[in-house]
Every structure is written in structure tokens, then in C-alpha cells.
């Protein structure tokens, strides 16, 4: 009969296997090993030894169904000989195949109290003789999903027949093994999911990093394009100033050249009269008077040309400089309008300037001129119908420590959606006319970042626009 270890017999009989100290410790040890990363074959060894410590003269082995689904092979054992374990590899799952193959095939325990005469063991007689095996009992290891993992086999060197109570204890031990295998599968699934999550997180992080790099590159390219467009607008403004300078300077220079030609002609006539002894006192006096008048004309017109050059030079410097300097608001608005004269000469818009002639302060004139130029050109380009003569009003006053500029036109006005997107870069309703969408974006940056103030727009369709710019001085 199958022998129980004398010292543990009463405890094993009276106590459920699951709660017996020997098996409880072995189960805890197995779970710790699994959590620590050991394979199932190593983690189950303490439980295999616990079984062998309770059932004397028995050696235990856990068999597992191979991937082919038709054979079994050993997966865990304590000290069975390697030759014996090798012989157990690829045992066919069949009702006539030893005890393990039959137990798995029939999904019920299989007992062979005397293997030397049992028909299932006839093909394995060489194992019986070589390893002194007389008895074998095998229990199928069935998991909670009703799938069969393999079998738990006990081999004995004596002829035994387990009692009903012992069979129940063996069934409990098999269930303990099944529980450990289930936990091993859960741990493996958790590790697999965790690894997949880490790989997914790593892939997501990599993709996010690549996306961020692409986004950063796109933003850099966009900023570069925006800066280039802003520089192009500045250069276009400078070109407009040069055109205005050429246009305005033509008159005083032309007058001065005409006066010089007249003066040269008079001097030539006086010189000829002197050589012919026909120069009279009255002729000489007239020559002196006309010479004085011509010199005065030349001086006044060259002075005017010099002032124009200084004005346009200062405007050009202001547009490319962030330095603050004193300025008179009335004079400066006049200079800005003068610089825009060639671009506005066909529009014939009416400008109403309402500014105190004594309004002077220290600020950034380049930002102010660019603000006014962009607002005026926006009105000229978008506010009025072709050949319509519009009215543009520019007011400015001091309000405490601030200067307030009000800009109005009586043009088409803007919708709420346009106002909401007005300061966004590259927002334009005139792409077909070459609009860059940067004019009002530049205005916002100049008012807020350069002048450290604010800009507000009020408008509705058909009611024109009303900009209020306020900045400290």
C-alpha cells in the first residue's frame, strides 16, 4: 500500500493539503520564485520535494503537453535520473500509453499498482528494470478553463495501491500544482502585457519625439519664412520711401538746376557785354539783382532737398532700428504720409489728421511709422472699392503716461470672424492679390512687444474700422 510519512500522517489526513504547512510553504516559495523571474520548472521544485517528503519511497515528476498537442514531456522533477527523464520525453497521449498518457487522454487519474504486469507499461519494460519502478499513479493537471496542462506522476519502488483517502489527497496536491501553474500563467501574461506596454510606450515616445522634432522643424521653417516675409515687407517699404524721395526731391532739385542754368546764362551775357564794352551800369545792377535772386532760389530748394533727404533717411533708420528718440507726432505723421505719396497718388483718399501740434514724446518711431504704414495700406488695399475716394482719420493725444492713437476709415469694415483672426500670422482674405497675411500680425507685435502697449479693433460690415493703439511714453 502507498505509504505516508509517519510523522506527518495525522496532519495530512486532518488538514487540507492547501493549508498544510509543508505545502503552504512550498506554494509560497513557488510564487516568490515565479515573481522573481524563475521559470516554472525551477519554481515547482520545492512543491515536488514537499510531495516526496510526505509520500515516502515515491519520486514525483510533472509532465506537460508539448506544442504538438499529441505528446508529453517532463517539465519539473527533483532528483529523478536524467536517463529516466529523457526516456519520458514525447510520451504519446493515448489510452494505452503508460499512466501519464492515459491520464491526460481520459482526463482522470490512472493507477498502475504493478507496472510489470500492467498492459499500458509493456512497451516501457526497459524503464521498469533499469530504474526499479514497481508502481505509478498519474493525475491529469486540469486548469480553471478546463484545459489540460499535463499530468502529475508518482513513481514508487514498491507495489502499492493508494486508499481512497490517499487518492483524495493526491487530487488536492494536483490541484495545488494547477493553482501554481495558473499563477505562473497570470504572471507570464502580466509580464508580456507589461513588456508590450513598455514597447508601445517606447514606440509612442519615439513617435512623439519624432513628431516633436518635425513640428519644431516646421515651426522653425515657418518662423524663418515669416521673418523673410517681414524683411521683404521692410525692404518694400524702404523701396517705397526711395520712390517717394525720388518723386519729392525732383521738384526742388529741378528748380535749383533751372535757377543755376538761368544764372549761368546771365553771367555769360554779362561777360560778353564786358568784352564788347557794351556793359552798362543798369545791366550790371540787373545782373547782380537776378544773381542774388537765383542764389536765393538755389539755396532754398537745395535746403528743401536736404531736408527731404534727412526725413527719408530718418524714416529708413527708424524702420530698421529699435532705438527710442524724441519725436513730434504731427511732423512724424506728415513724414509717413509723404513717404506713402507714390503708393497713394492714384487713390486720392482724404486724410484727416487731428493731432496737437505740440504733442512730443520719446518712443520708438520705427514701430509707430510701421504701424501707421500697415494700417493705411490695409485701408487702401482692402477697405475701398476701386476708384472710391475714402476718408481716413488719424487722431493722437496724450492720456496720462500713455499716448493714444486712433485710426479710422469709412470703408467696408470686417466681420466678427475676420476680427477674431486679424492678428494671426498668414491670415489674409487677399491671397489672390498677393497678400502675405503678416501686416496686422506685425502691427500686433509692434504695439504689444515693441511699444509695450495694446491694440484694439472695432468694426462691422459696412461701418469701416476703428483701431485704438495705446502705449506708455
Q: Where are the chain's structural domains?
A: 6-193, 251-472
Residue of 440, 446, 448 whose CA lies nearest to 424: 440
User: Torsion angle, CA of 368/370/373/376, rounded to 10 degrees?
Assistant: -70
Is the CB of residue 260 less than 8 Å from the CB of residue 294?
yes
Question: Grid coordinates in use for 427?
Answer: 491670415
CA separation for the pair 391, 464 (Å, rounded)? 10
Ramachandran assignment for 277, one of left (phi > 0), alpha (psi -120 to 50 degrees), beta (any other): left
Q: Cell 515616445 identifies what position?
A: 205
Hey, is 464 helix, strand or coil? coil
Q: Read off the DSSP letter of residue 55.
A: B
| Angle, in degrees to the nearest 10, between helices 329-339 and 365-378 | 50
| pLDDT for residue 319 | 61
Query: CA angle, corner 167, sides to 163 and 168, nearest 5?
Result: 120
Number of H helices, E strands in the chain: 14, 13
| pLDDT for residue 312 | 63
CA separation for the pair 209, 110 (Å, rounded)? 60
CA separation for the pair 273, 8 (Å, rounded)? 155
Q: Where are the beta strands (DSSP E) in 316-401?
A: 325-328, 350-355, 360-363, 391-399
Is the CB of residue 134 less than 8 Å from the CB of residue 157?
yes
Question: Grid coordinates in use for 439?
Answer: 501686416
The phi and psi torsions of 159 (rounded to 5 degrees) equal -80, 120
CA separation for the pair 438, 422 (Å, rounded)? 10
CA separation for the pair 353, 359 (Å, rounded)? 13
| pLDDT for residue 132 | 81
CA separation for the pair 114, 116 (Å, rounded)? 6
What pTM does this model have?
0.45
Alpha-carbon distances, residue 446 vs 71, 371, 453 (angstroms) = 82, 7, 9
CA separation for the pair 114, 430 (Å, rounded)? 101
Per-residue pLDDT of the chain (473 residues), as tens digits, is 444 443 344 444 444 666 677 788 888 888 888 888 888 888 888 888 888 888 767 889 999 999 999 999 999 988 788 888 888 899 899 998 889 999 999 999 999 888 888 888 888 787 777 888 888 899 999 999 999 999 999 988 887 788 888 888 889 889 999 999 999 888 888 888 888 888 877 777 888 888 888 888 877 776 676 666 556 555 655 555 565 556 567 777 777 788 788 788 888 888 888 888 887 888 888 888 888 887 888 887 787 777 667 766 666 665 666 678 899 999 889 888 887 876 787 778 999 999 999 999 999 888 898 889 889 988 988 889 888 889 999 999 999 999 999 999 999 999 999 888 888 877 777 655 555 667 788 888 889 988 999 999 999 999 999 999 999 98
Residue of 392, 462, 407 whose CA lies nearest to 440: 407
Topology given in CATH for the domain delimited by 251-472? Heat Shock Protein 90 (3.30.565)
Containing H/E element for 155?
A: strand 148-156
Is CATH 3.30.450.40 what the domain over 6-193 is classified as, yes or no?
yes
| pLDDT for residue 320 | 60
CA separation for the pair 11, 172 (Å, rounded)? 14
Amino acid at each position: 500500500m502507498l505509504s505516508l510519512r509517519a510523522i506527518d500522517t495525522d496532519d495530512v489526513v486532518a488538514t487540507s493539503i492547501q493549508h498544510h504547512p509543508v505545502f503552504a510553504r512550498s506554494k509560497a516559495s513557488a510564487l516568490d520564485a515565479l515573481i522573481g523571474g524563475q521559470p516554472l520548472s525551477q519554481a515547482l521544485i520545492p512543491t515536488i520535494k514537499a510531495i516526496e517528503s510526505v509520500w515516502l519511497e515515491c519520486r514525483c515528476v510533472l509532465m506537460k503537453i508539448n506544442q504538438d498537442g499529441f505528446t508529453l514531456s517532463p517539465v519539473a522533477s527533483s532528483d529523478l535520473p536524467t536517463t529516466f527523464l529523457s526516456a519520458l520525453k514525447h510520451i504519446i497521449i493515448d489510452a494505452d500509453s503508460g499512466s501519464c498518457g492515459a491520464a491526460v487522454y481520459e482526463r482522470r487519474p490512472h493507477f498502475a499498482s504493478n507496472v510489470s504486469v500492467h498492459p499500458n507499461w509493456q512497451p516501457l519494460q526497459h524503464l521498469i528494470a533499469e530504474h526499479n519502478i514497481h508502481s505509478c499513479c498519474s493525475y491529469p493537471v486540469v486548469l480553471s478553463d478546463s484545459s489540460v496542462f499535463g499530468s502529475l506522476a508518482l513513481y514508487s519502488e514498491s507495489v502499492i495501491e493508494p486508499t481512497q483517502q490517499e487518492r483524495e489527497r493526491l487530487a488536492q496536491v494536483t490541484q495545488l500544482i494547477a493553482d501554481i501553474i495558473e499563477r505562473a500563467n497570470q504572471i507570464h501574461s502580466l509580464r508580456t502585457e507589461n513588456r508590450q506596454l513598455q514597447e508601445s510606450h517606447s514606440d509612442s515616445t519615439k513617435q512623439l519625439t519624432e513628431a516633436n522634432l518635425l513640428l519644431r522643424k516646421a515651426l522653425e521653417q515657418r518662423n524663418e519664412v515669416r521673418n523673410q516675409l517681414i524683411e521683404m515687407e521692410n525692404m518694400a517699404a524702404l523701396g517705397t520711401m526711395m520712390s517717394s524721395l525720388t518723386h519729392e526731391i525732383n521738384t526742388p532739385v529741378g528748380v535749383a538746376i533751372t535757377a543755376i542754368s538761368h544764372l549761368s546764362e546771365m553771367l555769360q551775357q554779362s561777360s560778353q557785354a564786358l568784352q564788347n564794352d557794351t556793359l552798362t551800369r543798369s545791366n550790371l545792377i540787373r545782373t547782380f539783382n537776378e544773381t542774388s535772386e537765383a542764389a536765393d532760389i538755389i539755396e532754398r530748394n537745395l535746403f528743401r532737398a536736404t531736408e527731404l533727404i534727412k526725413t527719408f533717411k530718418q524714416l529708413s533708420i527708424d524702420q530698421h532700428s529699435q532705438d527710442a528718440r524724441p519725436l513730434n507726432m504731427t511732423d512724424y505723421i506728415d513724414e509717413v504720409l509723404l513717404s506713402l505719396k507714390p503708393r497713394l497718388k492714384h487713390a486720392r483718399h482724404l486724410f484727416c489728421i487731428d493731432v496737437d501740434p505740440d504733442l512730443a514724446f520719446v518712443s520708438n518711431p520705427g514701430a509707430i511709422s510701421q504701424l501707421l504704414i500697415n494700417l493705411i495700406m490695409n485701408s487702401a488695399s482692402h477697405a475701398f472699392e476701386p476708384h472710391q475716394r475714402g476718408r481716413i482719420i488719424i487722431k493722437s493725444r496724450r492720456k496720462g503716461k500713455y499716448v493714444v492713437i486712433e485710426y479710422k476709415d469709412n470703408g467696408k469694415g470686417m466681420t466678427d470672424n475676420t476680427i477674431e483672426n486679424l492678428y494671426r500670422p498668414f491670415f489674409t482674405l487677399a491671397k489672390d492679390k498677393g497678400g502675405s497675411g503678416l501686416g496686422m500680425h506685425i502691427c500686433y507685435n509692434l504695439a504689444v512687444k515693441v511699444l509695450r502697449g495694446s491694440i484694439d479693433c472695432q468694426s462691422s460690415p459696412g461701418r469701416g474700422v476703428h483701431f485704438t493703439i495705446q502705449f506708455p511714453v
